[in-house]
Amino acid sequence: MKVLVTGASGQLGMDTVVVLERKGHTVLGCDRNQLDITNLEQCQQVIGEFAPDVVIHCAAYTAVDAAETDIEGAYLINAVGTRNIAVAAEAVSAKAIYISTDYVFDGHGEQPYHKYDNTDPQSIYGKSKRAGEVLIQSLSSRYFIVRTSWVYGLHGNNFVKTMLKLGQEKPQLKVVDDQKGSPTYTVDLAEFLSELMLTEKYSIYHASNSEACTWYEFTQEIFAQAKQILGANIIAELEPCTTADFLRPAPRPANSVMEHLAIRTNGFEDIRSWQDGLTAFLTEYQDLQNT
């Protein structure tokens, strides 16, 4: 298939391009220099000329705290940019896959969020991503919305890399223990997207690595596996803390866990556990460090 990937210089976009090319697809990966998603005419030109079968829309404004003051910037990219991609994809009859987020929910629920639960984003980032969902639903006749959470990968900055660094530098680390979610390895998400795009099973999907943890529990596992796989000299002593100890401009969901109902009911194999995803990441990370 011919696939165009937006946000191809981001951690999910880069891995998505790699996974698709490995599977023999013809891929055009576009970063912001090759495709300004806020420019409708450019979107129509680039997508029109390539004429993809599928557009995987990974490009997004993801600076959660900055979005609280840069409201126009967040909506320009996450809403207007998504509209532009939807319009251009629809013009060439391409399927559209929109990458969304756990932040579309209020995060106050006790149970994992189902795809049909009411959305109620609390941050500008969440609201702008929800706006993108609405526009995809309104303007695309063949679309998938894939909500994910706590994403990390080999490329770019992320929580796992930060903890690996701090764990070997700081004698003590405080990590939030009252926010729960599902870490997601970009390669695992990209593999799911590569399966999804081949189908006509249009829907909203909640796609993360399976099972859940707090940031503190995630860090514990990062350190344990880093010692075993990387031989890392972790010196940091971990201490759990609360969200209130780290006040940020944008509210964080206390519960980001999402139920994988659509994955199962549409006949897909569920994504492996977050622990196994982390093992795969650290193994790849070690190989990269040794090359």
Per-residue pLDDT tens over the stretch 108-129: 999 999 999 999 999 999 999 9
The answer as to whether 202 is a domain residue is yes
The answer as to whether 242 is a domain residue is no
pLDDT at residue 135 greater than cutoff 90: yes
Query: Mean pLDDT over all residues of the chain?
Result: 97
Quote the CA–CA distance of 259 and 14 in Å, as a whole number: 26
The answer as to whether 235 is a domain residue is no
User: Which tokens is 140 given?
Assistant: 């695309």
Of the given ranges (240-244, 246-250, 256-260), which has the lowest mean pLDDT?
Answer: 246-250
Count other C-beta atoms under 10 Å from residue 235's C-beta.
Answer: 13
**Nearest alpha carbon to residue 78 among 181, 7, 148:** 7
The answer as to whether 236 is a domain residue is no
CA atoms within 13 A on the CB side of 38: 11
Quote the CA–CA distance of 88 and 238 in Å, as a whole number: 48
| Residue 236 per-residue DSSP state | P
pLDDT value, residue 287 = 87
The answer as to whether 174 is a domain residue is no
pLDDT value, residue 90 = 98
CATH number of the domain residue 145 falls in: 3.40.50.720
The answer as to whether 35 is a domain residue is yes
Q: How far is CA 136 from CA 33, 87, 169, 175, 270, in A?
A: 23, 9, 44, 36, 25
**Range of 114's domain?**
2-158+184-210+258-272
Whether 125 is a known active-site residue: answer: yes
pLDDT value, residue 291 = 72
The answer as to whether 121 is a domain residue is yes
pLDDT value, residue 289 = 79
Q: Give SS3 for 250.
A: coil
User: How many domains are contained in the chain?
Assistant: 1
The beta strands (E) that lie in 137-290 are given as 143-148, 151-152, 172-176, 180-181, 184-185, 204-206, 213-214, 237-241
Which member of 103, 113, 125, 143 is catalytic?
125
- Residue bearing the bigger pLDDT, 149 or 291: 149
What average pLDDT does the segment 95-118 reach? Answer: 96
Quote the CA–CA distance of 56 and 9 in Å, as a whole number: 13
User: Which tokens is 158 given?
Assistant: 């992320």
The answer as to whether 217 is a domain residue is no
What is the reported pTM? 0.97
Q: Give SS3 for 177.
A: coil
pLDDT digits (tens, 9 = 90+) for 212-232: 999 999 999 999 999 999 999
Of the given ranges (2-6, 152-156, 184-188), which has the lowest mean pLDDT?
Answer: 152-156
| Residue 7 per-residue DSSP state | S
Quote the CA–CA distance of 132 and 78 in Å, as a whole number: 6
User: Which tokens is 263 given?
Assistant: 């994955």
Quote the CA–CA distance of 139 and 168 in Å, as a whole number: 48
